[in-house]
Amino acid sequence: VVVLAASSGGGLVAYADSQPDQPQGFKKKKVVVLGTGWAGTTFLRNLDSKLYDVQVISPRNYFAFTPLLPSVTCGTVEPRSVVEPIRRILEKKGGDFKFWEAECFKIDPANKKIHCRSNVETNLDGNGEFLVDYDYLVVAVGARSNTFNTPGVTENCHFLKEVEDAQKIRRSVMDCFEKASLPYLNEEERKKNLHFVVVGGGPTGVEFAAELHDFVTEDLSKLYPSIQHLVKISLIEAADHILTMFDKRITNFAEDKFGRDGIDVKTGYKVVKVSKDAITMQNPATGDIAVPYGMAVWSTGIGTRPFVVDFMKQIGQANRRVLATDEWLRVRECDDVYAVGDCATINQRRVMEDISEIFRVADKDKSGTLTVKEIQDILEDIYVRYPQVKLYMESKQMNGIADLIRTGKGDTEKESVDLSIEEFKKALSLVDSQVKNLPATAQVAAQQGQYLATCFNKMQAAEENPEGPIRIRGEGRHRFNPFRYRHLGQFAPLGGEQTAAQLPGDWVSIGHSSQWLWYSVYATKQISWRTRALVISDWGRRFIFGRDSSG
Ligand code: FAD
Ligand code: MG
Ligand code: MG
Ligand code: MG
Ligand code: MG
């Protein structure tokens, strides 16, 4: 049975700021947060720390601003400038936080405990392991790089996920130039050392290739004049185009620009093997080709961390690839565990599963048919609960409620506009094809962290006043509107002070002006005034003195 919230529009009851004084002996609930990345840190920054006893566990004691990692690979921005110690973030907030630098290696949902291992082995039996209890667990551990079991990738390729990776890449680029300069090498060997291969034509791979190209042409060409003509950058992508998640105009512009820059874009090639000296790729037309290389960066695919896979087995999600949550970010089939960011995906409920119940609620006068007004009245609530309906209504197929009714009728001539249940089903039959998984981005992770913190801050009040747009039996009480993602746009820096930007409403802008937009957005998004100052001064230093090439 669908129960509509008392106040339609689905808003939450405003929660008074003042917390009633807790009774003596009241024990705060324990919230354990795994991970200090985008999702975990945003959750912590927005959580009302007076309400909970919070413990944070992460193998690294800092937050990293990942969008600037490609800039760190070539020294455009220094590693220090993109990280902020988590203790500093927590201290600034004040309240009841504890941080343990350790890695969770097992979740035990039956006993509400997590097993952790510190990287410094200090306890008595020397294995560094300890247990932590939770009342609520927030899993925000991100994803791991995925090699798709391609032989030799782990041993021979760089990844670009963490700050350390970016630093290693930078040293490796310099090593390749120094090696290629040694006196006893022949031309072939010099060429091999100066062949830089990027696997993966997504935003990260493309940005890294562009950054490397700028580094080579703007800075290194002056320092290594005798070998600079031997440098080659290849970008390998299995699909037919690079940047496929962007508008076609951006993809075309990027491919053309890289062509002019001399970056060899190899689309339709799949890397099948990487050895110490050569990278083997495959294309139906050419078969296998092995090319010698100096350095390779693997920048494609993400996967689930092993301890999360183990957790999924325990809770009956063994057949899934990614941990599934409901639209409220609660892990499915597991009480009091939430998951946010790259480590999880929202299992969006299908309209067709609930269609009869939606119809019953919409049909306020119990006439057995829906009038235009009845549809209008429920549409906003449906949008909140089933975002795919909004996407569908805004898609090219649809032009407002009139079209929806016409689709249901399958006939534009009919007199009556009221929809029967069968016609209502028909009208919405294509809607679920609009269900999309959210991308693995900082933007999604941060919005989820913020949303979940809001839920936690209002949990007590919400328990007393359960509310939400549409409640379905068997799903438990819905305390809040489900999570709703707002896409604010995406950048693709392409080098040479040019950036492509795709903003909401398919607004596309490419060139130097979007580069300035990029600078200002990324300066604004910095987590503290300290990192903001550092990043801006790194940019200034780069403009004046160029990038540093020692290392
Ligand atoms: P992460 O930020 O990866 O955080 C995971 C946290 O969990 C880390 O603190 C990690 O140390 C910790 N952890 C790992 N294992 C354990 C464990 N066993 N126990 C406890 N803690 C653990 N997105 C954008 O929107 N825009 C961009 O421009 C952009 N650029 C990117 C550039 C690069 C090079 C990369 C790698 C990513 C980029 N992204 C970008 C994607 C974005 O960084 C991710 O989507 C985002 O970091 C996901 O946040 P998260 O909190 O889920 O995971
Ligand atoms: Mg995180
Ligand atoms: Mg991060
Ligand atoms: Mg996700
Ligand atoms: Mg009716």
Residue 204 Cβ contacting ligand 1 at under 6 Å: yes
DSSP reduced 3-state for 222: helix
Mutate to test the pocket of ligand 1, among 441, 444, 485 (most ligand atoms within 8 A of CB): 441
Q: For residue 314, report the distance from its CA to the centre of ligand 5, in Å.
A: 46
What pLDDT does residue 7 have? 31
Beta bridge partners of 85: 62
Mutate to test the pocket of ligand 1, among 38, 144, 307, 499 (most ligand atoms within 8 A of CB): 38
Q: Is 304 in contact with 323 (CB distance < 8 Å)? A: yes
Which residue in 378, 431, 433, 434 sits closest to 404, CA to CA? 431
Cα 88 to Cα 92: distance, rounded to the nearest angstrom = 6
Q: For residue 504, report the distance from its CA to the centre of ligand 4, in Å.
A: 20
Residue 160 Cβ contacting ligand 1 at under 6 Å: yes
Phi first, then psi: give them for residue 449, nearest 5 degrees: -60, -45
Phi first, then psi: give them for residue 69, nearest 5 degrees: -60, -40
pLDDT in tens, the chain (551 residues): 233 333 333 333 333 333 445 555 568 999 999 999 999 999 999 999 889 999 999 999 999 999 999 999 999 999 999 999 999 999 988 877 999 999 999 999 999 999 999 977 666 667 889 999 999 999 999 999 999 999 999 999 999 999 999 999 999 999 999 999 999 999 999 999 999 999 999 999 999 999 999 999 999 999 999 999 999 999 999 999 999 999 999 999 999 999 999 999 999 999 999 999 999 999 999 899 999 999 999 999 899 999 999 999 999 999 999 999 999 999 998 999 999 999 999 999 999 999 999 999 999 999 999 998 999 889 888 888 898 998 888 887 777 888 888 888 886 665 567 899 999 999 999 999 889 899 999 999 999 999 999 999 988 766 665 544 444 444 445 567 889 899 899 999 999 999 999 988 778 999 998 998 999 999 999 989 999 999 999 999 998 989 987 76
Q: For residue 24, report the distance from its CA to the centre of ligand 3, in Å.
A: 39
Query: What DSSP element (H or E) covers 517?
Result: helix 512-524
Residue 56 Cβ contacting ligand 1 at under 6 Å: no
Q: Could you count the other beta carbons within 10 Å of the beta carbon of residue 189?
A: 15
Residue 202 Cβ contacting ligand 1 at under 6 Å: no
Phi first, then psi: give them for residue 532, nearest 5 degrees: -60, -45
Q: Which domains can be identified in the chain, with CATH numbers?
A: 27-143+304-347+439-472 (3.50.50.100), 145-300 (3.50.50.100), 351-434 (1.10.238)
Residue 457 Cβ contacting ligand 1 at under 6 Å: no
Ligand 1 atom 36: residue of nearest CA = 161
Residue 41 Cβ contacting ligand 1 at under 6 Å: no
Predicted complex: ipTM over 0.95? yes
- Report the chain's terminal Cα–Cα distance, integer Å: 66
What pLDDT does residue 413 have? 61
What pLDDT does residue 451 have? 95
Residue 142 Cβ contacting ligand 1 at under 6 Å: yes
Please tell me what DSSP assigns to residue 14: P
Cα 477 to Cα 474: distance, rounded to the nearest angstrom = 9
Residue 102 Cβ contacting ligand 1 at under 6 Å: no
